[in-house]
Amino acid sequence: MTHNPLPAPRLRLKAGDDIAFGPGKAQLLELIDQHHSISAAARAMGLSYRRAWLLVETMNRCARSPLVVTATGGRKGGGAELSPLGLEVLTQFRQLEQEILNSPRFHSLAELFHPASPGNQ
């Protein structure tokens, strides 16, 4: 008998009508941090550069200060990196996701639903 996991939470932070931060944006930040490039991060996620740039613009606009800092091309080439706030947001978001997943309260709620499976989406 296979074990079906509990339904999964999907944490999102909204700022007005914008989704300021969520799992996809967290993954994008992780990849920007890894590759030091928005275009390389976009390729790794299967996104167009334009879509990745729009996600970065939304995060930067919604945060108190930019989460991603870019450098224009030149002799050394352009690039992108996470600001100290970007690293803090990413760290806190991932920690909160883990706290929710490990929470007895989440497990109690999730058990009231069918296990996650392709037919229950």
Beta carbons of 36 and 44 less than 8 angstroms apart? no
Q: Which of 27, 32, 29 minimizes the C-alpha distance to 88?
A: 29
- 12 assigned to some structural domain: no
Residue found under tokens 């995060």: 59
The pTM is what? 0.85
List of residues 6+ apart from 5 with CB closer than 8 A: 115, 116
Report H helices in 1-121.
23-35, 38-45, 49-62, 84-101, 104-110
Instruction: Tell me the pLDDT band of 72, cut-offs 50, 70 and 90.
Output: confident
Which range among 48-52, 75-79, 91-95 shows the weakest confidence by mean pLDDT?
A: 75-79
Strand partners, 70: 80
How close are the terminal C-alpha atoms of the chain, in Å? 21
Question: How far is Cα 21 from Cα 56, in angstroms, rounded to an integer?
Answer: 10
- 31 assigned to some structural domain: yes
DSSP 3-state of 14: strand
The CATH number linked to 76 is 1.10.10.10
- Tell me the per-residue pLDDT of 11-27, one tens digit each, with 9 for 90 and over: 999 999 999 999 999 99
What's the structural domain count of the chain? 1
Question: How far is Cα 55 from Cα 47, in angstroms, rounded to an integer?
Answer: 10
- 6 assigned to some structural domain: no
- 81 assigned to some structural domain: yes
- 8 assigned to some structural domain: no
Range of the domain at 92: 17-111
Q: What's the pLDDT at 78?
A: 75
